[in-house]
């Protein structure tokens, strides 16, 4: 199994701040801390457009089935109601999960068994990242696919090798989904990601 960059424990006490739709860490700037959450291997983001919740799930299902493997981290961001949980549901379906997948807002972590095990994490209600560490977040990264809703709030402290997914409402029922790959593992899968997204390509994308 490919080694996964560990959570940066020195900064786990940093409190989260800001409005719910734009939470950020009140911590030193990334340039003064570990580079664990940054990647020089990040490629240009790619975009897709979906026209319904079912289509968002279908896109995520294709990504889960074709690309995700144990040890992968997927960071989900977007405002309340944008479709983060729907995306997680699609990924789970693509990885063979048959039970209902629901938001982990109150439990923080939910785990599911499928072809690949899944950990679904939500940091929305956490005041300090130490709470996430206490729940065993490090161990989740070892042998399953981990999806983190509101993960952009903890971005500087997460492993550098990851897929970032930002979901933005783009019209009635429509969602623009921007995907950014980071790290060598995802760099190697970038072409395949583009192929998976082709049916959902955003208009005007070059």
HEC string of 41-95 equals CCCCCEEEEECCHHHHHHHHHHHHHHCCCCCCEEEEECCCCCCHHHHHHHHHHHC
- d(Cα 13, Cα 1) in Å, to the nearest integer? 29
Q: Read off the pLDDT of residues 118-136 as tens digits, 9 standing for 90 and up.
A: 999 988 877 776 777 777 7
**What is the 8-class DSSP label of residue 201?**
B
- For residue 168, pLDDT over 60 is answered with yes
Distances (CA, A) of 163 to 9, 57, 152, 190: 21, 17, 11, 10
- For residue 145, pLDDT over 80 is answered with yes
Query: Mean pLDDT across the stretch 140-157?
Result: 86
- d(Cα 94, Cα 87) in Å, to the nearest integer? 11
- Report helix, strand and coil shares of the chain as percent, to nearest 5: 30, 25, 45
With contact defined as beta carbons under 8 Å apart, do 165 and 27 qualify?
no
The CATH number corresponding to 41-200 among 3.40.50.150, 1.20.1250.20, 3.40.50.300, 3.50.30.10 equals 3.40.50.300
Q: How many residues are recorded in the chain?
A: 206
Distances (CA, A) of 182 to 74, 111, 124, 206: 10, 24, 23, 21
- For residue 110, pLDDT over 80 is answered with yes
Query: Would you state the pLDDT for residue 108?
Result: 86
- Average per-residue pLDDT for the chain: 79
For residue 155, give the 3-state DSSP assignment: helix
Q: Read off the pLDDT of residues 14-64 as tens digits, 9 standing for 90 and up.
A: 445 444 444 433 343 433 333 444 445 567 899 999 999 999 999 999 999
């Amino acid at each position: 199994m490919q080694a996964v960059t560990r959570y940066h424990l020195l900064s786990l006490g940093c409190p989260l701040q800001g409005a719910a739709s734009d939470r950020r860490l009140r911590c030193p700037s990334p340039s003064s801390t570990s580079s664990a959450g940054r990647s020089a291997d990040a490629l240009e983001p790619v975009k897709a457009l979906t026209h319904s919740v079912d289509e968002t799930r279908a896109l995520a299902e294709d990504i889960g089935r074709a690309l995700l493997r144990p040890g992968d981290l997927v960071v989900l961001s977007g405002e309340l109601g944008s479709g983060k949980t729907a995306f997680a549901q699609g990924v789970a379906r693509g990885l063979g999960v048959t039970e209902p997948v629901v938001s982990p807002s109150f439990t923080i972590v939910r785990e599911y068994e499928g072809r690949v095990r899944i950990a679904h994490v939500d940091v929305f209600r956490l005041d300090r990242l130490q709470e996430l560490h206490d729940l065993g977040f490090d161990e989740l990264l070892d042998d399953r696919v981990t999806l983190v809703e509101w993960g952009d709030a903890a971005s500087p402290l997460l492993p550098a090798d990851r897929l970032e997914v930002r979901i933005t409402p783009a019209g009635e029922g429509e969602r623009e989904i921007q995907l950014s790959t980071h790290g060598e593992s995802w760099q190697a899968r970038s072409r395949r990601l583009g192929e998976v997204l082709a049916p959902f390509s955003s208009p005007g994308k070059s």
